[in-house]
Amino acid sequence: MPEVLIADDSEFMRNLLREILEEDHQIVGEVENGVEAVETYKEKRPDLVMMDIVMPIRDGIEATDEIKNSDPSANVIMCTSVGQEEKMKEAVKAGADGYITKPFQKPSVMEAIEDVVPS
C-alpha cells in the first residue's frame, strides 16, 4: 500500500482526503502547515504527499520546493482551489507532480494519484 502524507490547514479537507484514500493507501501523517509537512516528510519518507497550496506559516509551494530539493524523487500532488492558476504555475515550478482542484471527488483524486504513482 502506498504511504501518503496529507498536508492541509483545513481539518475538513484532511478528513475528506483521508476518507478517499484510506481504502487503498496507508496514511502516515496529517499536518496543517508547510513546516510540519517538510518535517514529517523527512521523518516518514511517504510515497506521496497531498499538499494544499495555501497554508499558514509556510505555504505548500515553499514546502514542495524544500521537499523536492531534499528528495528529487518525492511525489507531490497539490490541492488547489478554483481560481488559483497563478499559484499552480508556481507550484509546478517548485516541482509539484500533479494537482487536484477543490472541491474534489474520489475519481479525480484517484486519477491524479495514478498519474503520479502508478499502482
Share of residues in the chain with pLDDT > 70 (%): 99
User: What's the pLDDT tens digit per position in 72-99?
Assistant: 999 999 998 878 888 889 999 999 999 9
Structural domain tally of the chain? Answer: 1
The torsion angles phi and psi of 88, rounded to 5 degrees, stand at -65, -40
CATH number at residue 21: 3.40.50.2300
Could you tell me the residue range of the domain that residue 59 belongs to?
3-116
Least confident of 8-12, 16-20, 61-65, 115-119: 115-119
Q: How confident is the model at residue 102 (pLDDT cuts 50, 70, 90)?
A: confident
Q: For residue 62, which of 53, 71, 75 has the smallest C-alpha distance?
A: 53
